[in-house]
A and B are shown apart, each in its own frame.
Chain A
Amino acid sequence: MIKGKFIDNLPKVYGIYTGGFIGFIILMAIGEQMGMTAKAIGIAFVAFTIFIYALIGYLSRTAQADAYYVAGRQVPTVFNGMATAADWMSGASFVAMAGGIYFKGYGYMALLVGWTGGYVLVATLLAPYLRKFGCYTVPDFIGTRYGGNLTRFLAVVVLTVASFTYVTAQINATGTIASVALDIPFQYAVYVGLISILLCSMLGGMRGVTWTQVAQYIVLIIAYLLPVFWISNEIGAGFFPHFMLADEVARIAELEQQYGFVKNSAGDLANVPKGLAGITKAHSAVNATPWAFISLALAMMMGTASLPHVMMRYFTTPSVKAARKSVGWSLFFIFLLYSSAPMLATLSKLSLIDPSLPTGIIGKSIAEVQAIDWYQNWNQANLMFVSDFNGNGTLELNEFFMGGKAVVLATPEIAGLPYVISGLVAAGGMAAAMSTADGLILAIANAISHDVYYKIIDPKAETQKRLTVARVLLVVIGFAGATIAAMEIQGILGSVIWAFDFAMSGLFFPLVLGVWWKRANRQGAIAGMALGLASGMGYLIWVRNGGSGFLGITQLTFGIFGSAVSLVAMVVVSLMTSAPDAATQKMVDNVRVPSGRSVI
């Protein structure tokens, strides 16, 4: 059926794969009709998809450094776009984003703008030039452009701090989904998730991760879009929700007016289970100050352009030109999901609060709501809660609480979709979390194995030894992440947003100025990375310990402070010390021209 080189057959291979996956969904739907239990369907979905990813990981095994680190630099633009989208969209994007929009509205939607706008910076400032450079890792660029082991090492430190913050949250997410779908305790489920993640990346490195990420993107996008379209049709909101929910958005605003946002007393809120929230913010009104919105968007945009696990995806394209186009495709594939999240939030909210819909619960009697099947299920899962604070027997808007994850996980069930959709959503969430975790663990392990071990400790090491070190590191970092995830100190490490702030504090300006400012030198880069990361981290610690902060910079946007310090330090120190030598200047000239041999 498949002849010739694998790369030439990609559309066919993934076409068959997509068809097979849809066939599997239909098979499960038939199974449900024939009496397959919800639990069996959940297990089948998660186990089947993980098996496929592991198979792809095995088939992509390699013993070549070029294939292990940069997938042989032959990933076509569109497929690299899909892989980047999967790499990028984490378990949090998949499971929590719609919930964030549902509860926080406009203020939260700065993340949508920030997490997409950052790709404009990636495409214009960095990706094509780093591709031309021909490096294996991001610290490889820093180390070669500025010279010296200290610069390389500092870049590895920033990368590790940012990526490790991020990866524990991802492993945690795989554990959460695996524990629900497979019905095993969380402490074990975390390791099931980890082993699945390692199966994709250990044998094939970047090549394995690339081809599994494409497969994971297909699963996650089907799992996200299918319920959105289905629910929209089910409740009669329109067959293409993105263009047709204006009436629903207006209706929510009208209901908000009618109910009002009643503030609960602290005593009442103490009864609500931890992590659940009520609707306290307007859905479509502007409820944040311009600076609160803009600073969060800006921090996420600059962070996007500094996160190594995204940047290294563009090292795998065949050319500089392909790298640029590939950024566009990445954002297109991300756009498909991100533009759907607000629609899902709208559908979910309306179906719950509109008394004229059969699913609406606000205004019903408390006892009636407590008797609903799906309420009981999600209440048991600690994701839903009602309480009659004012004692009138009727459910008010401020008496209904939900977990952020429930918007994605529970809405299909509330709207009356078959359980097969819930199984599909679990598989999608698993795919999103696994693909991001893979990219992050690989970024850390590659940086340590290539930049610290090969470039600094043992430059004479043979390929086989280098790849062995890389694989051992992969496992070690994975287990370290899983161990921390199993400790469930999520409040401290769960903040995905911090990873962006750390990355931008330490890496944004050293990367950008490395290409765009010839005068930038080693001393400047060292100052930029060290002071940027230190001041960003210092600000975070200060604010978390009761510091008041300044200029409206919060613990979510501390990267703005860190990167400003980084910029100033880098420019001042560079100008105070001598200009880079002629060879370095020539190297920068070379990076700016797409044609010709790569720099390294």
Chain B
Amino acid sequence: MSKNEQHWEKTRGLLFVTLAIWFVFSIGIFLFGAEMNEVGGPFGYPLTYWFTCQGSLGIFVILIFWFAGRQEKIDEEFGFSEREDS
């Protein structure tokens, strides 16, 4: 397998992991919205309510930064990273 193909395989792997987490917090948990709302969540808010106000939103922010870091590591591993930027 060429270097490019290996790089793309890893990139695709990271995509699937990222999208799986995204799916859970954007769609998965809301399948059980009514049941989850009976449970107390962080800061004492009902759990589903908390996810729609803060939880899912905050998780997306962290997820994107995490993804960006991991993807950069993959790029570096194959020497595909850009050098001179921030």
A-side residues, CB < 8 A to B, are 76-77, 106, 109-110, 112-114, 116-117, 119-121, 123-125, 128, 242-247, 249-250, 284-286, 288, 290, 293-294, 297-298, 301, 318-322, 324-325, 327-328, 331-332, 335, 338-339, 342-343, 589, 592-595
Contacts and interface: CB of A to CB of B under 8 A. Distances in A.
Given A294-B31, A321-B81, A593-B7, A335 B58 contact: yes
Question: What 9 A-B pairs have minimum CB-CB distances, sorted nearest first?
Answer: A246-B44, A117-B26, A328-B64, A324-B68, A319-B85, A109-B52, A342-B53, A328-B65, A284-B49
Q: Which of A112, A288, A593 has the most CB of B within 10 A?
A: A593
B82 A284 contact: no
Given A120-B64, A319-B85, A331-B64, A285 B8 contact: no
Given A324-B67, A328-B64, A286 B37 contact: yes
B85 A318 contact: yes
A301 B26 contact: yes
Given A124-B19, A290-B33, A592-B4, A106 B57 contact: no
B72 A321 contact: yes
A245 B42 CA distance: 11
Contacts of A324: 64, 67-68, 71-72
Contact of A339 (B7, B27, B57): B57
A113 B72 contact: no
B45 A246 contact: yes
Contact of B45 (A112, A284, A285): A284
Contact of A116 (B4, B31, B60, B75): B60
A290 to B, nearest CB: 5
Given A76-B86, A246-B45, A112 B57 contact: yes
Q: Which of A120, A243, A319, A320 has the most CB of B within 10 A?
A: A120
Contacts of A120: 18-19, 22, 26, 60, 63-64, 67
Contacts of B67: 120, 123-124, 324
9 contacts: A117-B25, A119-B60, A119-B64, A120-B63, A123-B64, A284-B49, A288-B33, A339-B58, A593-B4
A572 B34 CA distance: 39
B27 A298 contact: yes
Contact of B80 (A325, A335, A593): A593
A331 B45 contact: no
Report whether over half of chain A's contact residues are helix, strand or loop; otherwise say mixed. Answer: helix
A204 B11 CA distance: 37
B65 A285 contact: no
A106 B43 contact: no
Nearest to B11: A592
A290 B26 contact: no
Contacts, number: 150
B32 to A, nearest CB: 8
Contacts of B68: 123, 321, 324-325, 327-328
Contacts of B7: 592-593
Contacts of A117: 22, 25-26, 56, 60
A595 B65 contact: no
A246 to B, nearest CB: 3
A124 B54 CA distance: 22
B82 A594 contact: yes
A328 B67 CA distance: 9
B37 A595 contact: no
Interface string B1-23: 00010011001000100110010
Contacts of B61: 116, 328, 331-332, 335
A247 B57 contact: no
B13 to A, nearest CB: 12
A118 to B, nearest CB: 9
A304 to B, nearest CB: 11
Contacts of A77: 86
Contacts of A332: 61
Contacts of A124: 15, 18-19, 22, 67
A249 B33 contact: no
Contact of A595 (B8, B63, B82): B82
B27 A294 contact: yes
Nearest to B21: A120
B74 to A, nearest CB: 10
A331 B60 contact: yes
Contacts of B8: 592
B39 to A, nearest CB: 12
A281 B60 CA distance: 28
Contacts of A110: 30, 52
B86 A322 contact: yes
Contacts of A301: 26
Contacts of A119: 60, 64
B53 A339 contact: yes
Contacts of A298: 26-27
A372 to B, nearest CB: 30
A409 B31 CA distance: 34
A415 B86 CA distance: 45
A342 B49 CA distance: 10
Nearest to A78: B86
A231 B61 CA distance: 27
